[in-house]
Structure 1
């Protein structure tokens, strides 16, 4: 069995891919959510100190909110890893669909963070004390690109599900 990104050569030989197509996608989505949340937490909260998950209170509350956010990302990533192991155990892992799910999950989380948490709820901004527009544009455009590429990859595998 091959797991190349095109992975069409063994599709007809492996009916488990079709049977577990949704699990491949949802496992990727959960993994993408967890990984992008983890990267956000480590890079922007811990290394760069640009913001906390919740910036409308004291630094202590901000650190607690960061800890809860980090726990969420850890649980999502570990949960997705168990689901991924299950797919491998069943010989049903579909790399292209899983990568599409990762990009879709990461992009949806990042766009939710950029639009809902940053702008609508005002929990925090990407960075303070600077012109925020370039940061917002890069953040949200990258999110939209991840969503688009992930959706394209998943759509390409949907055609394979039918035939």
Structure 2
């Protein structure tokens, strides 16, 4: 099986695209459309805008890198959708949980919103993140077994 020969690249493509897409949605929806916060809210609005720009550049870099990997895998007929989705869900869940716990709570770079009760926002943000992460990790484990089984049979 050609696709099993590249489980790491399929996983990496999904991880990058998952990170990039969730960061992109966060930036567009919460930073630009709703104006709820900046990536870094502990300084002037100008610094917040610069931090948003850098965050946006990161999200695009990860998204484009993931898409380039997907394109390469498809060209080589090595794209493995289940392994890719394992990475995408893991990357999305990891980024969102890291954002919700580390950036919001530990480092205090920003909050989801200000001047509201944060409990419902924090619970929703982190529970959705944990669900995405757990589903992605389960898929990683199951696809890893498939990859090992195919490699042993080769």
Same fold, TM exceeding 0.5? yes
Shift, 1:162, TM fit: 2.4
Shift, 1:17, TM fit: 1.1
Aligned equivalent of 2:99: 113
- Give the whole-Å Cα distance in 1 for the aligned partners of 2:25 and 2:93: 13
- Taking structure 2 as the reference length, the TM-score comes to 0.95
Alignment of 1:1-163 (within 5 A): 15-163=1-149
Q: The residue matched to 1:147 in structure 2 has which SS?
A: helix
> Which blocks of at least 5 consecutive residues in structure 2 are unaligned?
150-154
- Give the whole-Å Cα distance in 2 for the aligned partners of 1:130 and 1:100: 35
Q: Deviations over 1:35-74 (max 9, x none)?
A: 0000000000001110000000111110110000000000
Q: The residue matched to 1:34 in structure 2 has which SS?
A: helix
- Give the whole-Å Cα distance in 2 for the aligned partners of 1:19 and 1:73: 28
Q: Please give the root-mean-square deviation of Cα atoms over the aligned residues, in Å.
A: 0.7
Count of residue correspondences: 149
Q: The residue matched to 1:50 in structure 2 has which SS?
A: coil
User: Structure 1 segments of 4 or more deviating over 4 A?
Assistant: none
Q: The residue matched to 1:119 in structure 2 has which SS?
A: helix
Structure with more helix by fraction: 2
Q: The residue matched to 1:28 in structure 2 has which SS?
A: helix
> Which blocks of at least 5 consecutive residues in structure 1 are unaligned?
1-14
